[in-house]
Amino acid sequence: MTFTLVKENAAQICIDNHAADYKGLLHVAKILAGDILTVTGKEPEIVEQLQNVPQIVAATKGTSDILAKWEEEKKIDLSALEGKREVFTVQLIEEDGAEKLVIAGTETIATLYGLYYISEKIGVSPWVYWADVVPAKKEEIVFDESICTVSKEPSVRYRGFFMNDEWPSLGNFVMNTFGDFNEFFYEKVFDLLLRLKGNYFWPAMWSASLPLDGSEDPLAILKLGTELGITIGQSHHEPLTRASEEWDKVKTDTNNVGYGKDWNYYTNKEGLYRYWEDGMKRDKDFKHMITIGMRGERDTMMLGENSTIQENVELLREIITDQNKIIKE
């Protein structure tokens, strides 16, 4: 069996708009369509329903009526996905005489890896944007059954990078290209992360505040990351999802009133407790790995030079205990 991706025309890409992860799949389907256009000069149409034409059909097991129907009819075999994480399969089938290239993943991010797998197979490098790697042109693309695969389950659960020390080089590029560390910039970062089979990310934090830096919606970056199945972490100085630079924007003039003045749990416990509590309420629906603990502002001490190791240990124990209480609540 073969699948004609591009000949006179490009095959369609079908994403079921009733699927729970429709937004994330649609986002990457558009990237794949752009990759195919770059390679062949022909852009696939993205549709929401099966049609009697060649189609790439991408869906996540357990969220797709299409996959469930084909599995029941034994047109596809998804047994290799059982009990796995971040695994996708690619299979070729016919539906009413039309060729279908089916991508099925164990969860959203796995299905996205499957879409990027097609980009890789047509010659698009993960570094197509960031290193200007131009793919070779092709007039037509036809896959045989060698395109069919079951990906390996990752041996490392969390894989990604920390965008630290981002000034001046990256910062100047971002400001000149995107205007800020906004969702348009992070769209390109997430694209690279997913092409490299990553799933975990710590954002820029010298001047940026990821939960505040969306251009139209302050939470746009977090929403995009979650739609793409990416886990967002934050640095050692950003507990309970609050960005480092966020503090200077919201602190008050008096300790324990509002969020308080000091980044110090000894002098401003009530204010910081509220600050962290509000951060968890704001970000509770997003895909996070939550940092706990605390260090003094700009690597300073909270208890001063004359404090004992035991006093510092007790303060840190109190901080982590309270943070765990906030997370559980």
pLDDT band at 244 (very low <50, low <70, confident <90, very high): confident
Residue 186 exposed, middle or buried by CB count within 10 Å (0-12, 13-18, 19+): buried
Question: What does residue 188 show for φ and ψ, rounded to 5 degrees?
Answer: -70, -35
- Is 90 exceeded by the pLDDT of residue 304? no
SS3 29: helix
Residue 237: what pLDDT? Answer: 87
Q: What is the pLDDT of residue 206?
A: 87
Q: How many residues are given for the chain?
A: 329
pLDDT tens digits for range 200-219: 999 998 889 999 999 989 99
Burial of residue 152 (CB within 10 Å: 0-12, 13-18, 19+) is exposed
| 108 exposure class (CB count in 10 Å sphere: 0-12, 13-18, 19+) | buried
Q: Summarize the confidence of residues 161-189 as an average pLDDT.
A: 95
In the chain, the percentage of residues whose pLDDT exceeds 90 is: 92
For the whole prediction, is pTM greater than 0.85? yes
pLDDT > 70: what percent of the chain? Answer: 100
How far apart CA 306 and CA 83 sit, in angstroms, is 54
Mean pLDDT of 7-14: 97
* d(C-alpha 57, C-alpha 98), whole Å: 12
Where are the domains positioned within the chain? 3-150, 160-328
Helix (H, G, I), strand (E, B) or coil at 172: helix
Look over the chain and give the mean of its residue pLDDT values, rounded to a whole number.
96
Output the pLDDT for position 177.
98
* 298 has a pLDDT exceeding 90: no
* Amino acid (one-letter) located at 191: D
Report which DSSP code applies to 285.
T
Identify the residue with better confidence: 165 or 9. Answer: 9
Question: Which of these, 121, 109, 104, lies nearest to 3 by C-alpha position?
Answer: 121
- 98: helix, strand or coil: strand
CATH architecture group of domain 3-150: 2-Layer Sandwich (3.30)
Looking at residues 250-259, what average pLDDT do you find?
95
Query: In whole angstroms, how large is the CA radius of gyration of the chain?
Result: 24
Cα dihedral sign, 165-167-168-174: positive
The third-level CATH classification (topology) of the domain covering 160-328 is: TIM Barrel (3.20.20)
Task: Report, as an integer, the average pLDDT of 277-299.
Answer: 93
Average pLDDT (269-281) is: 97
125 CB burial (10 A radius; 0-12, 13-18, 19+): middle
**Alpha-carbon span 115 to 108, nearest angstrom:** 11
Mean pLDDT, rounded, for 189-201 = 98
Q: Tokens 């970062």 map to which residue?
A: 189
Mean pLDDT of 10-36: 97
d(C-alpha 296, C-alpha 151), whole Å: 44
**96-135 per-position pLDDT tens digit:** 999 999 999 999 999 999 999 999 999 999 999 999 999 9
Q: Which amino acid is at 213?
A: D
DSSP-derived pairing of the beta strands 141-143 and 3-6: antiparallel
CA dist 215 and 232 (Å) reads 19
Cα–Cα dist 35/191, whole Å: 12
Quick check: 164 pLDDT over 90?
no
For the stretch 172-182, pLDDT in tens is 999 999 999 99
